[in-house]
Structure 1
Amino acid sequence: MKRTDSLVFRLTAMVFILLAVTIAVILFLVNSQMDTHFTQYLQMAPRRGMGMGHHMMRGAAELQYVESIHRSLLWVGLGMTVISVGVSYIVVQKLVRPLLSLTEAVRSVQEGKFGQTVPVERMDEVGILAKTFNDMSTELEQNETMRRHLFASVAHELRTPLAIIQGNLEGMIDDVIPANKKMFLSMEDEVLRLGRLVQDLNDLSLAEIDKLVLHKERADINILLERAVSMLQPLCDEKELTVRLHLCPELPNVSIDVDRINQVVYNILNNAIRYINRGDTIAVTTERAVKEGKEYVLVSIADTGNGISPEDLPHIFQYFYRGEKSRSRKSGGSGIGLALAKQFVVSHGGLLDVESEVGKGTTFYIYLPLG
C-alpha cells in the first residue's frame, strides 16, 4: 500500500486543508478589520493632513506598525497550522491504530487461524467494529470445531456398521461364519441402520438450506400424539413408566407434514423413555399458545427423570452431541435425533425449545404455527 493511500495520510491532509483554509480566512478578516479600524483611528486623531487621502494619513511609523502586525499575524497563522497538523496527525493515528490491529487479525482469519481477537479499548464506531469482529472470529472458531467434530462423528457412526458387514462377509468367504439366513438378516439390519443414518444426514442438510420438501396436510395433532404414545407403550411398560395425556379437545387442525412431525415426537419420546428411571412419569400436553405475537399449537413433552446438566443443555440440538460420551448403543443412539427434530420443526415455521433441571426432569416444547 502506498503511503498516500494510507487513511492516516488522507485524514491528516483533509484536516490540514480545512484548518489551513480556516486560519487563512481568519487572518484575512483580522487584517481587513485591523486596517479598517486603524484607518478610522487615524482619521479621528488630531493630525496635520487631516481630511486628505487614506495613504497620506499614514506616515513611516504607522506603516511600520501595520507591517509588523501583519507579519505577527502571518507567523501566528503558520504556527497554528503546524501545531494543528501535528495534533491532527496524532489524533488520527490514535483513531486508526485499532484498525491496523483489526487488519492483522482479519489476515490471520483469512489464513484459517480462527479465534483471533483484538482489544476493544473504546465503544465508538471503531470499538463496535472490533467487538463485532471478535464475536465473528469466536463463532468461526466454534463452527470449525463443530465441523471437525461432525466429520469425526460421521466417520465413527459409519465405521461400526461397515466394520460389521465387512467382518461377516470376510468370515463367510473364509468359511468361518456360516452363510445362512440368520447372518444375512443381521447384515441387513446393519445396512438399514447405515441407510437411515445417511438419510437423516441428507434430510438435515436439506432442512438447513431450506430445501426440504414437506408434504403438508391438515391434521389433528391430538390423534398423532395418541398414536405415537400407543406405539411406544410396550417400551413404557417394560420400564414401568406412566404416560399421561392432557390433550386440549378444542385445538384446530394444523398444516403439517405428518411423517416429519411423527419423527419429531418419536425422537423426543424415545429419548425420554431411554434416559429416565424405572417408574418415572411422562406427560404429554397440548394447548393453544401465543409467542412473539404469533399463534401456535403447543405440544409439551415432560418427564420426571434426572434432567440434563447445565453444561450439556445448550448443545443438545447439535449434530451427534451426546451427554454420555461413550456413544454406546446401549445407552443411546447416534446423537442426531434431536438435531433432526429441531430442523423439521423449524422447516414448518415452528420452534423447538427445552427446559431442564437436574433431579427434576426435562420438558420439550414443540410450537407448530396456526394459519
Structure 2
Amino acid sequence: MKQSYSFCTDDRLCINSWGNEITEVTGMPSSAVLGMKYYEVLPRILADDRDALSVALADKTPMNLKGYSFNCLHDRVKADVRIDPVRVSSGKVDELRIEIRPYSACSMARKLQNSQRLIDIGKIASTLAHGVRNPLNAIKGSVVYLREKYSNEQTLIEFTRIMEEEITRLDNFISKFLSTSISVAGLSESDVNALLKKIEIYTSLQTHANDISADYEYGDIPLVAIDSFQLEQAVLNVINNAIEAMGAGGHLSVKTMTQKVSDNDFVLIEISDTGPGMADNGLGDISPETRGRGFGLFITREILQYYGGFLEIKSKKGAGTTVRLYLRVSR
C-alpha cells in the first residue's frame, strides 16, 4: 500500500490542515505552514496549465491526477493526486482536501529524514550524558571506599582498579562529548590485545554468573590508530549482545588476527557465540531507529567506519552468530 500525504486548504488555497505524515516528509510543522498558500510550501499542482485546486473549486467536483510528476529537490517523483471538495455551502466550496500518494519516496527526502533521526539521537545522547555524570561520581566514590576497606583482597583490588580507571575514562569521554562531538576523539596508537585482555577480566563476572564459558585467543597483531575508549565500546557492544543472547551452557569465543582485504591490511577481532542466531545475518537490525542490540551494532559499525574499518556479521537461526570487526592497520 502506498504511503499517502494529505492536507486541506480553504477557498483561497490557504492551508488550514496539515497532516503528521506530510510534516515528516517536508520537515515543516503545521505551525509554520497554516495560513500560507499551498504553492508557497509545495510545488503548484497543475492540470492543463491551470492550478488544479482552483479548477476543483470552480467545478465543485473531485479531481484525480494519475502519475502526476513532482519536483523533489534534485529528482522527480510520480504520484497520484486526489483533490476533493469536502465542504460545500450555499453552492460554494469552502474547503478542499488534497491527498498525494507517491509511487516512490524522494531519495533526498529519505536522506534528510535519516539525518533528522541522527540529530534527534544526538540530542538524546547529550541529555543522557549529562544525566550519567552524577551517579558516575557516586559509583566512583563507592569503588574507592571498597578498595581502601578491603585492601588485602587482591582479586577485589584488581577489579576496583579497573573499575576506577574505566569510570575516569568514561567521565573524560562525557566531557569531550559535551564540549565537542563524539567524532572528535583522542586518536592514538592502540594495543587491541591489551584492551581485550582488560575486557576479558571484567566481563568474566558476567559470563560466570550466566554459566557461559569464554575463551580468548590473541594473535600477533600490530597497533591500530583509533580512540581506545571508542574501540572498547564497539567491542563491548558485540560481547554484551553475545552474552545476552546465550543461555546457560553457552560459549563465547574471541580471537584477534591480521587479515588482508582488497590489498589493505586490517586487524580482525572475531567474536562468536552459540546463541539462537539472527535472520538475514542480522543486517536488517542495524539502524539508528532500532532499540537494544540492533542499536549497539549500529554504534559499533559507525565507530569502525569512522576509522576506515568495517563490520561483518555471519549468523543463522539456531546456529549462533559471528561478528567480525575490521580495523585498518596504522601505516
Greater helix percent: which structure?
Answer: 1
TM-score, normalised with respect to structure 1: 0.45
